[in-house]
């Protein structure tokens, strides 16, 4: 799908990867970029159109989808990392994480399905290397990203006229990974890879070595990832 002249909607576009995605869409000549945020006043990127969207609010999603019938590309980026432990974290927090990271993109994708089908558009979901493996302190989050990976696969089957890309990456240098001291990918690199993937109609984009290694390890015995 061509970005030049296209109308793009990015969720969670006020900061982090979402802000970089909105900027990259503009840099590639998108005709219009809707930068969705829970609080549109926090969108600071010149040239985008700020719109209000909490991806867990069905009424806001329905209202926006009814209004924005010119969207060619939906980038499901907004997400949270709230919990670290299946056993010790509060169940409500774990449910909340699934609500944002799985049901959020699911609801947004459903709401824009008719418009994207009519326009033969494209959906991209920002997933993670943790769609395919768990490391200590990430189990509930990883489950949300595994579910969201399968959401991308399901959308591909159900929306044959829409291109669907699932993007996977290890740590990225944003607020979400501020506590991480390991090496991190720059948000602008994620954004470049994302739009390269959309331009090529790639089903999956594996941004970094971490995501490539983890995906390759899926074909091995689980002891390769989780010990004997
Ligand atoms: N950073 C990493 O290491 C990493 C790695 C792999 C994948 N990812 C994924 O990349 C995506 C972006 O993460 P990031 O690193 O850019 O994180 P971030 O800097 O924490 O930004 C998260 C964004 O999501 C928005 N958001 C959260 N809940 C929302 C909701 N209910 N409705 C609408 N927007 C909501 C936030 O808005 P507010 O400003 O209103 O909170 C913010 O714009 C997420 O899906 C994340 O899981 C991140």
Whole-Å CA distances, 218 to 130, 147, 214, 215: 12, 16, 7, 5
Domain assignments of the chain as residue spans, ordered by start:
7-226
Walk along the chain (228 residues) in steps of 10 and give the mean pLDDT of each run: 98 99 98 98 98 98 98 99 96 98 98 98 98 95 98 98 98 97 97 98 98 96 88
Q: Does the beta carbon of 188 sit less than 6 angstroms from any atom of ligand 1?
A: no
What is the DSSP code string of the chain?
Answer: ---TT-EEEETTTTSHHHHHHHHHHHHTT-SEEEEEESSGGG---TT-EEEE--TT-HHHHHHHHHH-TT-SEEEE---------TTTS-HHHHHHHHIIIIIHHHHHHHHHHHHHHHTT-EEEEE--GGGS---TT-HHHHHHHHHHHHHHHHHHHH-TTSEEEEEE-S-BSSGGGTT--S--B-HHHHHHHHHHHHHTT-SEEE-SHHHHHHHHHTTS-THHHH--
Pocket flag, ligand 1, residue 210 (CB < 6 Å): no
What does the pLDDT read at residue 228?
Answer: 67
What's the number of CA atoms in the CB half-sphere (13 Å) around residue 84?
A: 3
Decide whether any atom of ligand 1 lies within 6 Å of the 144 Cβ. no
Q: Separation of 220 CA from ligand 1 center, angstroms? A: 31
Q: Is the sign of the CA dihedral 160, 107, 53, 145 positive or negative?
A: negative
Atom of ligand 1 nearest to the CA of 175: 19
**From the CB of residue 59, how many other CB atoms can be counted at a distance below 10 Å?**
8
7-226: which CATH topology?
Rossmann fold (3.40.50)
Which whole-number Å values give the CA distances from 164 to 49, 76, 150, 157, 179, in the listed order? 24, 11, 12, 9, 31
Distance 221 CA to ligand 1 centre (A): 32
- Is 15 touching ligand 1 by the criterion CB < 6 Å? yes
- pTM for the model stands at 0.98
Nearest alpha carbon to residue 70 among 9, 159, 111: 9
- Of 182, 162, 169, 165, the C-alpha closest to 121 is 162
Mutate to test the pocket of ligand 1, among 45, 100, 143, 176 (most ligand atoms within 8 A of CB): 176
Cα 17 to averaged position of ligand 1 atoms, centre (Å): 7
Q: What is the pLDDT of residues 120-149, one digit of tens each?
A: 999 999 999 999 999 999 999 999 999 999
Distance in angstroms (rounded) separating the CA atoms of residues 221 and 228: 10
């Amino acid at each position: 799908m061509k970005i030049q002249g296209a109308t793009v909607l990015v969720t969670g576009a006020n900061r982090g990867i979402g802000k970089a995605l909105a900027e990259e869409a503009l840099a590639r000549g998108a005709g219009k970029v809707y930068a969705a945020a829970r609080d549109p006043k926090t969108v600071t990127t010149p040239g985008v159109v700020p719109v209000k969207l909490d991806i867990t609010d069905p009424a806001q999603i329905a209202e926006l989808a009814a209004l924005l019938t010119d969207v060619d590309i939906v980038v499901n980026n907004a997400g949270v990392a709230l919990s670290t432990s299946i056993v010790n974290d509060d169940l409500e927090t774990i449910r909340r994480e699934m609500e944002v990271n799985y049901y959020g993109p699911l609801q947004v994708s459903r709401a824009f399905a008719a418009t994207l089908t009519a326009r033969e558009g494209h959906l991209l979901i920002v997933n993670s290397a943790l769609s395919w493996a768990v490391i200590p302190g990430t189990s509930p989050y990883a489950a949300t990203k595994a579910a969201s990976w399968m959401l991308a696969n399901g959308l591909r089957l159900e929306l044959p006229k829409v291109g669907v890309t699932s993007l996977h990456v290890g740590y990225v240098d944003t607020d979400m990974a501020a506590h991480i001291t390991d090496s991190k990918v720059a948000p602008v690199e994620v954004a470049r890879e994302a739009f390269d993937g959309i331009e090529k109609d790639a089903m999956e984009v594996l941004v970094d070595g971490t995501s490539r290694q983890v995906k390759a390890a899926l074909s091995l015995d689980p002891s390769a990832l989780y010990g004997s």
